[in-house]
Structure 1
Amino acid sequence: MGHPVERRLPPQAYDELRAEVLRAAVELSEDQLVDLTEALHGLIRLRRPGRPLRNPDGWVTDELRSFAR
C-alpha cells in the first residue's frame, strides 16, 4: 500500500486563507455556512485510511454549488 500524500499550504498562505474564510463566513447565510462546513467534512472523510483521494479537484468541482439569486 502506498504512503499517504502529504498536503500542506505554506504557513502564511494557510493563515491568509483561514482569515479570508472566517471574514467571508460572517456574510454567509446559514445554509451557505452549513454547505461549506459539510463540504470540508466530506473532504476529511475521503482522506481517512482506506479511502484514497486520488483526484480531489474532480470531487470538489462536481460538488460546487451556487447561491447566486
Structure 2
Amino acid sequence: MSGSARLVSSSEVARALGVTRQTVARWVRQEIITPASVTAGGQARFNLEAVKQQLREHGRRQRERD
C-alpha cells in the first residue's frame, strides 16, 4: 500500500474479521482496539491491519496472564 492505509468503518472491520459490529464496538470500549480516527460526526475509522495487530497483541497479553 502507498503512504497511507485506507481507513474503514466498524462494519467493514466486523465483516473482515467475521464478527458483529457490536463486537467491534465492545473492543473499542474495552480499549482492545483503537480507531485510527473519528469523524466530525463521531464515527470511528480503522486501519484494518492495525486492528489485526492490536488483536494479536491482546491475545498474547491474555496468554501471558494465564
Q: TM exceeds 0.5? A: no
Rg comparison, structure with higher value: 1
TM-score, normalised with respect to structure 1: 0.34
TM-score, normalised with respect to structure 2: 0.35
**Greater strand proportion:** 2
Q: Relative contact order: is structure 1 or structure 2 higher (C-alpha 8 Å, sep ≥ 6)?
A: 2
**Greater helix proportion:** 1
